[in-house]
Structure 1
Amino acid sequence: MSDTNLSPLLALRIIQALGGPGTPPEEGLQHFSVGLDPYLNVLDDEYLDRYIQYGGASFKMVVGIYGGGKTHFLYSLRDRARAKHYAVSYVSLKSSGESPFYALDLVYKAIAAGLLPPDDGTDQHIDRGIRSFLRAWYGKRLQTYQTQEMSLDRARECLADDIRQIDLPNLNYRTAVRKALESYHNNRQEAFDQVCQWLQGEGFDRRALQHYGINQKLDRSTAFPMIRAMVRMVRELGYSGLVVLLDEAERIPSLSTRNREQLLSNLREMIDECGQSSFEGMFIVYAVPDQNFLEGRTQVYEALKQRLSTVFTEINPTGVKVMLEQTVGDHTMFLHTLGTKLAQIYEVAYQCSFDAQELNEMVIMVADWAEDQRFGDEGYKRLFVQTMVAGLHYLNHHGICPTLTEITRKP
């Protein structure tokens, strides 16, 4: 019954993540994903394989309550995008943290810090951020030349030519990318770090940066041009495009009136930017827990409502809103399948084997209980996986199906 393609360590990480906070781990999603493939396949075919790769840009808004699978959906899309030669960046937006959506300069900084190159098919770990992104591009490019039976010196000459030919409309960004790669190429680590610090939005040392020909400071007025420049950089380096996954970690109405108005204005501008040629190769997916932030009577609310009115479905891929609850048809079947997958992962993690009858009894019991919670404030999917893992622990230790009282959380 256990999954032979799953390592015990990864299985343990999955169980720890799902049984604790109930949030999906960054790896191993394919071992317990249920019901997302129809929507993900459409995004694959319509956007990743076609429109974005051809130079288009698009914006989607994913709607799902807390614990309803937003992050899982974004991670799954991230993995598919990386497999199709896209650079990606996942950003958790928090008004009290480092990346509130009402402050686009901080959002740029978070996108830059989360930047990952495409998956190269190896298990090699790659750190996030523009520094690692540029180093990974350089290493991959050098490796490509060397596989063409070039000498190391000749390969380095070709790489130097590639760097000189990088062309971006944003003069400061073009200068920075070239200088960073030239510095890395020539083993000038201090210069590489200084320029990458600017690219990552981590500060502005005017005297040091002017030495390299960089004169623009990242602030709210320059954030959009910097985001556009990052997209162009990704395409210029030979990748299919940039997929940015923005995960709104709290309800927008909790913001102050001023910050909410700025957030809505930024959101409208970002949607409009996706209709411009300057954003070519950009796919933005913005996940929110509800749509209450659209309830207002001012012009900015009405403008956003119009832009976000259409619903994405398998037969209408151009729709903007992805309603996660609609990805599940039969909720009972969904939970039963998910419970079985979690049991398989648990068996690998703890090198055990469950009695089929006792396990089936527990899956049905927990699924029925979780479905009764479906219309609460917290997502029934998260409640299910947390309770299911608690039940698996009980079943592993006692060999019999627990009662709900023994495994459900106390208020």
Structure 2
Amino acid sequence: MSEATISRPLARSIIEVLGSYGTPPARGIQHFNVGNDSLLNALDEFYLSSYLQEGGAGYKMVIGDYGSGKSHFLYCLRDMAWTRNFAVAKVDLSPVETPYNDQKLVYQAVASNLIWHESDEMSSDETGLMRFLEGTLTRVVGGALSLETLNTPLYRGLIDTLEATAIDSPAYQTAVIAYFDSLIRGHDERIDSLTRWLMGETTSPADTKILREVGVTGKIFRTNAFRMLRSLCQVIRALSYSGLILLFDEVDRMASVGGKAEKLATDTLREVIDRTREDLPGALFVYAVPPQFINDVVPKYPALQQRVRAPGRFSRVNHFSPLINLDHLDLNEDDLMLAIGEKLIPIYEIAFDATLDHTIQQANAVILANVARDVFLDVSHRRLFVKSFVVELSRQHHGEEHTITEAEAQMILRGQVDALMGGETPPY
């Protein structure tokens, strides 16, 4: 995508996030993405545009060290999934929590993080199953909801499709249809009760009474949570989406949990993998982890090891492999960082209506990249380079543009190391 297609507000947002935190922004990732096209194209060719559309399912693991681009890659996959009309849930877990010790928590994590996405590049995405259902209903009927909506052909067609679709849990099917009806009629109590039920939250006796009035019985428990997740996948496809992409970005949690909790979590993860392949139509489960998880944790659990270890890494010639390794991209490390720098220069110019000397700034990108890689070995050099380069673009913009020396580069990078380490998960 050319730089000319980016708006100034989006460019400003990208530069602000990268310069402040060094982490990928939620919007606009495609404007400076490089080096992973072969991986994304293979996922599109063998899964998003074909197998998943036909009701197949699969799982992949994205392997990369801290700051190597796991979250960046998941954002790219998310955006590509949206272009293929998939629903997406992106679960960002902190180092102190994991849903893998309880199957119900897996369902709740998906329901809470299902994204309602607007195509407007500056619109903020909203999360949650209920917002997703409301947005889908409004989009299908083509406008604001009113009592007249109940009799429109578009709404009747939507309900007829849902009723005709085979859903594992009839209660789940009924709850979704009742939620649509309650939204249109403005029945706030029903909306609240149905929300708690569909989100897997605790329901009260008053909720139970209301739910029975609309034909919803039972609850979402640990023992039926995967059945409900399958029902959610079936509902999503009935709503004319291609399927559901599940993106779990768990940082270093699974590499350090240890003990009985680790055993329980890995058992549930194994079941998530199995259920995705066998029971979730149109779903792709993608789990981003550090190499230590594959090398140190997985070998302790043979059943999990059988599912995630592979003789080769994922590629177009070996799309069967579950392992997407971010150490093996389309560009070598030097060319990768230079290409990122070349993309960021015009984005910065658009953001601040500036004109920079591209020859000088490309030279600075090369010097910063080399020093980041060769000197700061205990810090993620990709993230360190991106943050430092954006900050340096600002310094050069407001000062005198010049080609920096290696000594300057070391001072620039050292100044950003503390910012990256402060409050962050330590790199491995």
- Which residue does the alignment assign to 2:70? 70
Give the Cα separation in 2 of the matches to 1:337 and 1:259: 42
Give the Cα separation in 1 of the matches to 2:297 and 2:245: 30
Pick closer, same or farther for the CA change 1:21–1:220 going to 2, 3 Å.
farther
Pick closer, same or farther for the CA change 1:30–1:159 going to 2, 3 Å.
closer
Moved more, 349-358 or 334-343: 349-358
Q: Write the mapping of 1:181-330 to structure 2, written as runs, cut at 5 A.
A: 181-213=180-212, 214-276=216-278, 278-292=279-293, 295=296, 301-310=301-310, 311-330=313-332
TM-superposed CA distance for 1:260, in Å, is 0.8
Give the Cα separation in 2 of the matches to 1:153 and 1:47: 35
TM-superposed CA distance for 1:294, in Å, is 5.1
> What is the SS of the residue equivalent to 2:59?
strand
Give the Cα separation in 2 of the matches to 1:101 and 1:350: 44
Q: Give a deviation string over 1:237-286, Cα, whole Å, max 9, x none.
A: 2211000000012242321412111111011111211331x211111000
Give the Cα separation in 2 of the matches to 1:303 and 1:71: 27
Q: Supply the AA of the counterpart residue of 2:267.
A: S
Give the Cα separation in 1 of the matches to 2:305 and 2:410: 44
Q: Give a deviation string over 1:355-400, Cα, whole Å, max 9, x none.
A: 23421321111011122258x4542210110111121122112222
How does the TM-score come out when normalised to structure 1?
0.89
- Which residue does the alignment assign to 1:404? 409
> What is the SS of the residue equivalent to 2:127?
coil
Q: Write the mapping of 1:144-155 to structure 2, written as runs, cut at 5 A.
A: 153-155=152-154
Pick closer, same or farther for the CA change 1:163–1:329 going to 2, 3 Å.
closer
Pick closer, same or farther for the CA change 1:210–1:265 going to 2, 3 Å.
farther
TM-superposed CA distance for 1:3, in Å, is 2.5
- Which residue does the alignment assign to 1:179? 178
Pick closer, same or farther for the CA change 1:155–1:60 going to 2, 3 Å.
closer
Q: Supply the AA of the counterpart residue of 2:272.
A: M
- Structure 1 runs (4+) deviating above 6 angstroms are none
CA contact (8 A) 1:65 1:377 kept: no
> What is the SS of the residue equivalent to 1:4?
helix
Matched, 1:366 2:371: no
TM-superposed CA distance for 1:163, in Å, is 5.2
CA contact (8 A) 1:83 1:119 kept: no
Q: Give a deviation string over 1:27-56, Cα, whole Å, max 9, x none.
A: 001111011111101100100011111111
Give the Cα separation in 2 of the matches to 1:82 and 1:360: 33
Matched, 1:30 2:43: no
Give the Cα separation in 2 of the matches to 1:95 and 1:173: 32
Matched, 1:143 2:142: yes
TM-superposed CA distance for 1:16, in Å, is 1.6
TM-superposed CA distance for 1:230, in Å, is 1.3
- Which residue does the alignment assign to 2:422? none
TM-superposed CA distance for 1:117, in Å, is 4.8
Q: Write the mapping of 1:371-390 to structure 2, written as runs, cut at 5 A.
A: 371-372=373-374, 376-390=377-391
Q: Give a deviation string over 1:62-84, Cα, whole Å, max 9, x none.
A: 00111100001001100111111
- Which residue does the alignment assign to 2:82? 82
> What is the SS of the residue equivalent to 1:249?
coil
CA contact (8 A) 1:395 1:401 kept: no
Structure 2: tracts of 5 or more residues without a match: 419-428
> What is the SS of the residue equivalent to 1:353?
coil
Q: Supply the AA of the counterpart residue of 1:93.
A: L
CA contact (8 A) 1:64 1:324 kept: yes
Structure 1: tracts of 5 or more residues without a match: none
Aligned length: 402
Give the Cα separation in 1 of the matches to 2:150 and 2:324: 50
Give the Cα separation in 2 of the matches to 1:286 and 1:154: 40
**Percent sequence identity over aligned pairs:** 33
> What is the SS of the residue equivalent to 2:315?
coil
Moved more, 61-70 or 256-265: 256-265
Give the Cα separation in 2 of the matches to 1:188 and 1:228: 28
Pick closer, same or farther for the CA change 1:224–1:162 going to 2, 3 Å.
closer
> What is the SS of the residue equivalent to 2:61?
strand
Q: Give a deviation string over 1:140-162, Cα, whole Å, max 9, x none.
A: 22129x9xxx9975555545545
Give the Cα separation in 1 of the matches to 2:153 and 2:272: 43
CA contact (8 A) 1:126 1:132 kept: no
Q: Write the mapping of 1:158-177 to structure 2, written as runs, cut at 5 A.
A: 158-162=157-161, 164-165=163-164, 167-177=166-176
Pick closer, same or farther for the CA change 1:54–1:34 going to 2, 3 Å.
same
Give the Cα separation in 2 of the matches to 1:377 and 1:54: 45
TM-superposed CA distance for 1:406, in Å, is 3.9
CA contact (8 A) 2:298 2:305 kept: no
Pick closer, same or farther for the CA change 1:122–1:359 going to 2, 3 Å.
closer
CA contact (8 A) 2:345 2:358 kept: no
Give the Cα separation in 1 of the matches to 2:75 and 2:359: 33
Give the Cα separation in 1 of the matches to 2:328 and 2:89: 26
Give the Cα separation in 2 of the matches to 1:60 and 1:379: 23
Moved more, 124-133 or 347-356: 124-133
CA contact (8 A) 2:246 2:285 kept: yes
- Which residue does the alignment assign to 2:14? 14
How does the TM-score come out when normalised to structure 2?
0.86
CA contact (8 A) 1:294 1:301 kept: no
CA contact (8 A) 2:10 2:122 kept: no
Pick closer, same or farther for the CA change 1:344–1:272 going to 2, 3 Å.
same
Q: Supply the AA of the counterpart residue of 2:50.
A: R
CA contact (8 A) 1:373 1:380 kept: no
Pick closer, same or farther for the CA change 1:269–1:294 going to 2, 3 Å.
farther
Pick closer, same or farther for the CA change 1:409–1:328 going to 2, 3 Å.
farther
